[in-house]
Every structure is written in structure tokens, then in C-alpha cells.
Structure 1
């Protein structure tokens, strides 16, 4: 990932009307409020998920392992959302310094691509559980899922490390701007990076979904209710891809290809930059939507939630305890995985 370059101040000759790059007052208010709401949703949902996962006993399923790492990725990025909100609520000024700007950009990409790959792992696990339930038992073990997860963390954190080494702030029009929030670099090398990072997990997830549907049509030993749960999980993963990640990468590609064109007017460039900011903000939404994947993709997570919110009812608590115990005892079966 390349670091943004310093722009000249020519893009800001008309700051009163937003120029080619600066956000308007309305845009700053909308972005600032949006990041605060997403921060609260992501923090509460993923904190609850980590708390529940940490309290679970017994052998964990591969899906739960991937979802645990996904929650860690979401929380790591949610921690810097207040900085993004403050940037917009101070009208496009970055008051936190160079280190915080580098960290904000670094965590943005680490969270996004870690989430992409962990969601793809969830999709692949659902495929193996539905289509190759018996043959994949030896492969689908928690220790294998942890090994793969740590390998993915190493891949993402190392590949994004150059963002921590390059300067990310500059003085433009008398204010300090953070490149990740102002204007990302438009280079064809960045376009190649986008394609390499996004295309494999997206195609893998889409392929798993199609093969699951095909497998269920051909017949499966799963009960109808469990088939529906499997389809819900993978459909939700695909929805997150389509809502949170696909618009950003499509807009980013358009931005890279079109921004530097010599025939573009200031209005066209500003439109490309605004689209890039809007779709970039959508990627943050995955932190608020991922808890829904935990809800549909982890049986023990649902059981723990029922126990948490129904503890006042002795009968409900007893039933939930029985469900959790039964899930643990039948962990080798496909049913316990949904």
C-alpha cells in the first residue's frame, strides 16, 4: 500500500464553496455523526461478542474461532472512529498529530482486509460443514482455524506496515489534513494493490455461496432448519461484502483511473473524492454488522445471549444450559456448528 503524497494548495482556492477537496459544513456534520453512531454500535456489539466467546467452555468450532478474530479486528478499528468523527466535527482539521494519523490509516486497512479474509474463512467453513460434513471433520478443527487466523493477521499487518513509515499529514490551506480522510493517493500501483487484496476473498466467498446452494439442491443430510441457518449465515456475509466493501473498491478504482485525467474539471474531481469518502465510510459499517454474523453463525453465541437475557427465568436458564451442554457433547456433528 502506497502512502499518500502531498498536494499543492491549488485545490483549495475556493474553500468557501468546498473547493475540489474540502468537505462542506453539512458533509462534515453528517460524517461526524455517522462515525459516532457506528462507533457505539461496533463497540457494544463486538465487546459483547468477545465477552461471550471468552466465557465459552469446551471445544470451539472453527467458525467461532474466525468470528472471534473478526471481533478483535472490528474493535481495533472502532477504537479510532472517534478520531475520524473529531476530524469532521472540527471542519476537516486533524489535531491529533502525525502518529495518530498514521495509526488511523493503518488500522483502517488492517481491519478492512482482515475482515474480508475472516469472513471468507467463515464462508469456506460453512461450505465444508454443509457439502463435506464428514470428510472435513479432521480438517475443521479449532487449532487449524487459529493457525490460519494468525497467519492472516501476519499477512495483513506486515503488508500494511509501510503506512506506518510514510508521512500521512500535511498543511493545506492553513489547516492540517490527514491523508486517509482528505484524499488518498491516485496511482495505478494502488489499483493493483486493491485488486490483489480484495478479489481473492470476494471470489472465494461468492464461490462458497454458490456451491452451498448447489449442494443443498442436490440433497443434504442436514435438517431443513439447519439448511436455512447455513444459507442465512453465508447470505449475511455476502451482504456485508456488497454493502461495506464492494462499493469502496469500485469507487476507489474509478477514482484512481479518473482523478488524474487532465480533462477533468474541479467539480468532477470533487465528485470522485466525495464518492471515495462516502464508500470509505461504508467500510466502517462492517463493524456494526458483523455481530449479526455472530448471531446467525455461532450456536453457542445465540445460546449465551438467551442465557444472558433470560436469566431471571429459571426454566429458560435451565433450557439454555441444557442446549449449551448438548452442543458441547455433540461438537463432532454438523448440527452443533450452526
Structure 2
């Protein structure tokens, strides 16, 4: 099952009681869905990165975090076509073991990094609105870039076990080659899952929830006091809150089913086909977040739309200048040839 690529090894008991039928709609509907998510995610996130990175104006602290979030989303959706093919072939891995390791690690790493970029941007909004004066010195682009490097490094560390222990496992009874996580013991698997849930879900959700509540309180206080001096900050916060809400809606079901899956592997919960279906839906719903974020930038991001328009005008001006220069050179060449003929 695709959730194995992100939630780890499955016990033999669970495999015997949770077998997806070969005629399941999963094998018909999921591959094209993943491919659509991949194509849209690549196009949209490349557009976001172009707007943030190619614009002549330097990015703000929040935009640095959002551009890194777009980079994480882009890397994630680039690996999804391999899993679309894996699902289409009834979970028979058709590629090499190295690709099994790398694609799994990249998906895991970027899913991990995404939530911590949102943690960073939540803290930035919290500081900007709740402590605008006393903490202004820490809201600098250099610190934001160093924070992003730290998040990428942390994501790489947490993805190392995926890269090391993800292996191809041939099943003679089904004649299928699985790409699965093969940790040395069940206790190590459970320890890894618990640590992952704590660091990739519980801790980030606590921080984001705290910051979001304080941000709403600050915005309400400003409205009640009739303060409009920070209108730009409030507009930026609207976009951030929209991205946070979309992330929570898309990813919380995945992490909840991940916890249920861990309980199933410990024997606390019995396996049921309904749990498998919910797991499938939650995984694919989580992937949709990589497409949803760029759409939110356009809908709720006034500053992003302005950047996109300015970049478009900048390119149009360059294109006009290029065509004008080419036209001038062609005219000069024609005049030179006509004079030479005369």
C-alpha cells in the first residue's frame, strides 16, 4: 500500500488481514490522480519560485519561508510519478532499489520540512504582530535563511533511516517486488514511528496552534482599538493563516491515520479494510496540499500578485527591447547589403 512508503513496515499479521483486491478502484483511480497532482504541482510551484526568486525586489522574511515551502512542495511532487506507476502495477516496484530509497527519502524529507517552514512562518507572524518592537531585530532575512538551512538539515537527518533501511522485498507468494521499510526489529520500528509522530506532528501543531491563537488575539485587539498602522502586516498574515489552515486540513488526517496504523502494528487495533481505505484517502489528500499552496498565494496574497504583475511587466519590457534591438540590427544589415549592391 502507498502508505507503506511513508509509515513504515507492516507486520505479517496485518498483511494477511489487510489485502487490497486486485480489482480495487485504487489501482484505477489513484495513478491518474497522482499524475495530475504531479503536473499541476510542478507547474504551480515553479511559477511561485520564479516570482519569488527572479523579482528584482528582495524577499521579505515571510516570503523566504514561503519560497522554501514551494521548493519542498516541488521536490515532493517530482517524486510522485514513481509511486503512481508503483500503484498502477498493483504495488510491484518496477524501478531500481536506489530509486526506491531516494524517492521515498525525498517525499519524507520534504513532507517533514514543509511543516517546519510553516512553523517558522507562524513564529514570524507571531513576532511581527504580537511583539513588533521588542523582537524586530530577530526578523531579518539572514536569520530566516539560516533557519531554512537548519530545517533542510533537520529534514535530511530524519530522512536518513528511510534512505538506509528502505529496500526492495520480493514476495514469492504474490510474485511482487515491494518497496518497503525494513528496520532490524519491531521495537526499532515503533521507536522510529513514535519519534516521527512527535517531531513531525505533535510539536509543530502545538507551536502553530499557539502562534495562531495569539495572532488572532492580536488582530482582534487591533480592530477593537481601530489601529491601521500595520495594514501590510495584516494582509501578509491573512495569506499565512490561509496556508496554515490548508496545511492542517490536508495533513492532520494523514498523521491521525499514521497513529492508527502504528497502533495496528502493535496489535492494539485490529486491521480492517476501512482503515486501509481511510489511509489511502488521507495520503492522497495530503499530497494535494502541494498544489493548493500556490493557488492560495494568488487568491489571498496581494503582495504575491503584485510581484507577479511586476515580474510580467519586467519580462515584457525585456522582450520588447530584445525584439526592437533585433529589428534594428536586421534593418541595419539590409541597408548595408543594399548599399553594397549599389
* TM-score, normalising length: structure 2: 0.77
Question: Which of the residues 251, 254, 257 maps onto 2:260?
Answer: 254
Please list, as runs of the form range in 1=range in 2, the aligned pairs for 1:8-47 lying within 5 A after superposition: 11=15, 20-21=19-20, 24-47=23-46
Question: Root-mean-square deviation (CA), in Å?
Answer: 3.2
The aligned counterpart of 1:287 is: 290
Which one has a larger percent helix, Structure 1 or Structure 2? 2
Query: Do 2:60 and 2:141's aligned partners in 1 also have CA atoms closer than 8 Å?
Result: yes
The aligned counterpart of 1:326 is: none
Answer yes or no: is 1:276 the counterpart of 2:279.
yes
How far the C-alpha of 1:10 sits from its partner, in A, is 9.1
1:27-60 CA distances to partner (integer Å, 9 max, x unpaired)? 1122112111111121011100111122122432
Query: Do 2:298 and 2:305's aligned partners in 1 also have CA atoms closer than 8 Å?
Result: yes
1:103-154 CA distances to partner (integer Å, 9 max, x unpaired)? 1221121111100000121122122222233333321111110001101111
Q: Supply the distance in 2 between the matched residues of 1:111 and 1:23 (Cα, whole angstroms).
A: 31
How far the C-alpha of 1:6 sits from its partner, in A, is 7.3
SS in 2 for 1:135: coil
The aligned counterpart of 1:155 is: 154
Query: Do 2:170 and 2:176's aligned partners in 1 also have CA atoms closer than 8 Å?
Result: yes
SS in 2 for 1:154: helix
- Mean alpha-carbon deviation: is it higher for 220-229 or for 251-260? 220-229
Answer yes or no: is 1:212 the counterpart of 2:218.
no
* TM-score, normalising length: structure 1: 0.78
How far the C-alpha of 1:228 sits from its partner, in A, is 5.6
Structure 2 unpaired stretches of 5+: 318-342
- Mean alpha-carbon deviation: is it higher for 84-93 or for 61-70? 84-93
1:256-313 CA distances to partner (integer Å, 9 max, x unpaired)? 113442883xxx3433333223212222122112214544676542213234667899
Q: Supply the distance in 1 between the matched residues of 2:166 and 2:279 (Cα, whole angstroms).
A: 21
Q: Supply the distance in 1 between the matched residues of 2:279 and 2:19 (Cα, whole angstroms).
A: 13
The aligned counterpart of 1:169 is: 168
- Mean alpha-carbon deviation: is it higher for 42-51 or for 300-309? 300-309
Query: Do 2:65 and 2:144's aligned partners in 1 also have CA atoms closer than 8 Å?
Result: yes
